[in-house]
Amino acid sequence: MKYLFITLLFFSNTILSDYSQHPEAQDVIKTLVTEHGFDESYVNNILQTAKKQERILESMSSPAEFTWTWDRYKKLFLEEKRITNGKKFIKDNSKLFDRVEDDFGVPREIITSILGVETRYGKIKGSYRVLDSLATLGFDFPRRSRFFQSELVQFFILARENNLDINSVQGSYAGAMGYGQFISSSYRAYAIDYDGDGYADLFNSVPDAIASIANYLKKHGWKRDGAIIQKVVLNKVNKTYNHQSNLTKYIPLQFTEGIEEEYIIRKGDSLSSIAINHDLKLQQLMALNNIKDQNIIKTGQTILLTKPKDLYFIGDDNFIAITKYNRSHFYAKAVYDLSLEFK
């Protein structure tokens, strides 16, 4: 029983599946063989090695961008170490960024912010085999199976074009790779060789990674010196939003801040001391928590320290360009906010 338990534990997140026999795999195999010249036995052998990863399915079912609050999400990225390392990354690559900004018109702060959010400037590029990720999502994630089957086809082609070992390439749970976490189709379409070695290497080349992100954003509508996001105030009828003359698109945005600032009252606390320690006025704290008598509180009681506040913005063309990198508005706003810390 001991050995059985260990075996079950080992395979709890990794399940062996012969994806070459999956009903929908035949379309993938046919596409690779008839349209892209792959040997059928080679494709079958590779798909047989792909492993179903339950953790990937769990992660895809509850992505942070769409399940977390804005407060929780932004705190993940706007933390001191990420900011400090981002400033160092910009300093270490200042001459490279001069070239990239001149060639593509994308600020170094935005590029660095994307790298910081995606991989902590290349330190965490993903630990899943891309083959496992794309096979799992292509054949066991019905909601987006067609998309990931297409990416699986692109991954086969990418590996062949770039002489990559298809069985060992690692990336995110969604199959994104390298410094900037490009999916296979984006890698093939937007990755560029910027260090002049004849190969667009997003795994190891900082110049290629930086320039490829800039190229991606430019191809998706980034405007040199254009606006990204502008804060607006509702119900100010005497003010209207005047967009830039070269602006083609903009989107309304709403973010709620302050909803996760809670405090559990400890022994010896008083409401006035809590207010002082958190830079609040006593009356403000009492009103926020509907407390009539400041002396009637108890240990273990949870109180709010800040009032939820809705903030409104207009996302301009360049904000929309960032959403082409990741469609979440949380993601694009976090990238923008982090970029401000580098200026």
Does residue 90 contact residue 339 with C-beta atoms inside 8 Å? no
Indicate if 118 belongs to the active site. yes
Structure tokens at 231: 């804060």
Whole-angstrom distance, CA of residue 322 vs CA of residue 318: 6
Q: From the candidates 118, 260, 261, 341, which is the catalytic residue? A: 118
Contact 132, 59 (CB under 8 A): no
Cα-based distances in Å from 327 to 62, 66, 334: 15, 10, 12
Token pair of 341 as six digits: 């810390």
Locus of tokens 């953790």: 55
Secondary structure (DSSP) of 97-146: HHHHHHHH---HHHHHHHHHHHHTTTT----EEHHHHHHHHHHH-GGGHH
Residue type, 135: A
Per DSSP, what are the bridge partners of residue 155? none
Rounded distance between C-alpha atoms, residue 213 and residue 202, angstroms: 10
What is the CB-side half-sphere exposure of residue 17 using CA atoms within 13 A? Answer: 22
Q: Of the candidates 303, 256, 311, which has an alpha carbon nearest to the alpha carbon of residue 280?
A: 303
By annotation, the residues acting in catalysis are 118
